[in-house]
């Protein structure tokens, strides 16, 4: 039976990926630096290990007996975290570097790296009604400072381990993934989860005012977690060796995202705009031409469908009083 290693398994995307692989009958080794009580999901049928994969020897121990690697491990979060933790985000380069070295030494069959839309040049994202980002738009390079540079450098590492050593690497550029079983408070949450939390609290408390970072006109596209997991495995199992976008083309403004969440929650809120808060680029969305051409597939979950599931999960978590991870 094929054994798969998922790094970052205690994270949002990693936990969902482990569940999916187990359902398909794979042996799964799930590794994350966090203690188990801080994992978003702990799948009891996986071999769960807490390891610091920035250390080469820990990477070598993790790959023993493994056939495939999904490397999702990274120190990251929403825009507030990324803009205030640039050095921490850059240090993630140690994880991918050491995982690639361990994978080469262990003759791993195939290696997946989760990159990000943050690799794209900032000059391509200065307006709200931008053209969707194509894979070629990553160069000339001017990515998100810190996190984006680390992702772009690690993409190049994957490319050169393929070219120089024959390690079959696959790279996906994730665009704003959201859904249940993820962080929704504490500073690392992204916009969909943060907005769900704010509107849920407004409904529960009766204080119907929320803060929005920026003017609310900045645009994004958001991909539901189920589509991310499906697309990740398509890219891993395909023969394309170049980085490919994995995201939705359904672009909305943050104001529109708030309106969608209001509709789901059945509540209207006053919007207080914080123009000094981190906002990121003015616009970002995915061009899925390569994904459609190569894999005959693209993310299919509508924003209203995904946000309905996400809001209900976050609302239930808040009402239950369970501690936030």
CATH at 292: 3.90.25.10
Q: Give the pLDDT score at 215.
A: 96
Whether residue 167 contacts residue 100, with contact meaning beta carbons closer than 8 Å, is answered with yes
The answer to whether residues 144 and 68 belong to one domain is yes
Residues 98 and 161 in one domain: yes
Q: Residue 325: its pLDDT value, please?
A: 60
Q: Where are the alpha helices (DSSP H) in the chain?
A: 12-23, 56-62, 79-84, 86-91, 93-105, 147-165, 191-205, 225-237, 254-265, 289-295, 303-320
pLDDT at 81: 85
Catalytic residues: 147
Please check whether residue 62 is in contact with residue 108, taking contact to mean a CB–CB distance below 8 angstroms. Answer: no
> What CATH number is associated with residue 235?
3.40.50.720
Q: Kindly tell me if the per-residue pLDDT of 82 is higher than 90.
A: no
- For 203-257, write each residue's pLDDT tens digit: 999 999 999 999 999 999 999 999 999 999 999 999 999 999 999 999 999 999 9
Let me know if residue 112 belongs to a domain: yes
Do residues 146 and 199 share a domain? no
Same domain, 171 and 236: yes
Write down the mean pLDDT value for the chain: 96
157 shares a domain with 73: yes
Burial 118-150 (b: 16+ CB within 10 A, else e): bbbbeebbeebebebbebebbeeebbbebbbbb
User: Could you tell me which of 80, 95, 82, 89 has the C-alpha nearest to residue 33?
Assistant: 95
Three-state secondary-structure class, residue 207: coil
Q: Using one digit for the tens of pLDDT, what is the confidence trace for 287-325?
A: 999 999 999 999 999 999 999 999 999 999 999 987 666
Looking at the domain assignment, is residue 193 inside a domain?
yes
Q: Do 241 and 96 sit in the same domain of this protein?
A: yes
Q: How many C-beta atoms lie closer than 10 Å to residue 96's C-beta?
A: 28
Question: In this structure, are 99 and 195 located in the same domain?
Answer: no
9 shares its domain with 118: yes
pLDDT confidence of residue 73: 97
Q: How many domains does the chain have?
A: 2
Integer angstrom CA distances of residue 210 from 64, 79, 194, 274: 49, 18, 10, 10
Largest CA distance in the chain: 60
Instruction: Please report whether residue 325 resides in a domain.
Output: no
- Alpha carbon distances (Å) from 156 to 41, 87, 149: 31, 19, 11
This prediction has a pTM of 0.95
- For residue 313, the SS3 value is helix
Domain interval for residue 56: 3-177+225-246
Of the listed ranges 95-99, 110-114, 237-241, 321-325, the least confidently predicted one is 321-325
Mean pLDDT of 118-146: 95
For tokens 């993790």, the residue is 62
Report the distance separating Cα 83 and Cα 66, nearest Å.
35
pLDDT at 78: 77
What is the arithmetic mean of pLDDT over 113-132?
95
Q: Both 8 and 151 in a single domain?
A: yes
Residues 6+ apart with CB under 8 A from 10: 30, 32, 33, 34, 36, 38, 39, 40, 41, 42
Classify residue 151: in a domain, yes or no. Answer: yes
Q: Do strands 219-221 and 251-253 pair parallel, antiparallel, or not at all (unpaired)? A: antiparallel
Q: Is residue 21 part of a domain?
A: yes
Mean pLDDT in residue range 31-41: 95
Q: What is the pLDDT of residues 273-289, one digit of tens each?
A: 999 998 889 999 999 99
pLDDT at residue 79, as a whole number: 79
Neighbours of 30 (CB within 10 A): 29
Do 80 and 196 lie in one domain? The reply is no
Q: 157 and 122 in one domain?
A: yes
Whether 14 and 49 map to the same domain: the answer is: yes
């Amino acid at each position: 039976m094929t054994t798969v290693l998922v790094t970052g398994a205690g994270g949002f995307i990693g936990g969902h990926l482990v569940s999916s692989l187990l359902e398909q009958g794979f042996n799964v080794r799930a590794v994350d630096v966090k203690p188990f009580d801080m994992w978003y999901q702990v799948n009891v049928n996986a071999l769960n290990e807490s390891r610091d994969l920035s250390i080469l020897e820990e990477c070598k121990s993790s790959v023993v007996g493994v056939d495939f690697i999904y490397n999702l491990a990274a120190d990251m979060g929403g825009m507030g975290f990324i803009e205030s933790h640039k050095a921490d985000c850059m240090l993630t380069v140690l994880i991918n570097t050491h995982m690639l070295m361990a994978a080469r030494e262990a003759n791993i069959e195939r290696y997946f790296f989760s990159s990000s839309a943050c690799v794209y040049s900032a000059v391509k994202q200065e307006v709200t009604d931008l053209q969707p980002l194509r894979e070629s738009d990553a160069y000339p390079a001017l990515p998100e400072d810190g996190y984006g540079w680390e992702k772009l450098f690690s993409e190049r590492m994957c490319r050169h381990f393929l070219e120089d050593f024959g390690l079959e690497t696959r790279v996906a550029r994730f665009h704003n993934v959201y859904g249940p079983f993820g962080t929704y408070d504490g500073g690392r949450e992204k916009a969909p989860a943060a907005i769900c939390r704010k509107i849920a609290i407004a409904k529960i408390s009766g204080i119907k005012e929320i803060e929005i970072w920026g003017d609310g006109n900045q645009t994004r596209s958001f991909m539901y977690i189920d589509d991310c997991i499906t697309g990740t495995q398509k890219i891993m199992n395909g023969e394309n060796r170049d980085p490919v976008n994995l995201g939705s083309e359904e672009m909305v403004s943050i104001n529109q995202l708030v309106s969608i969440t209001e509709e789901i929650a059945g509540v209207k809120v006053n919007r207080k705009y914080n123009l000094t808060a981190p906002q990121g680029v003015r616009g970002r969305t995915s061009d899925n031409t390569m994904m459609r051409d190569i894999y005959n597939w693209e993310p299919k979950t509508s924003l209203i469908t995904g946000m309905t599931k996400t809001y209900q999960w976050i609302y239930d978590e808040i009402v239950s009083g369970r501690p936030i991870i």
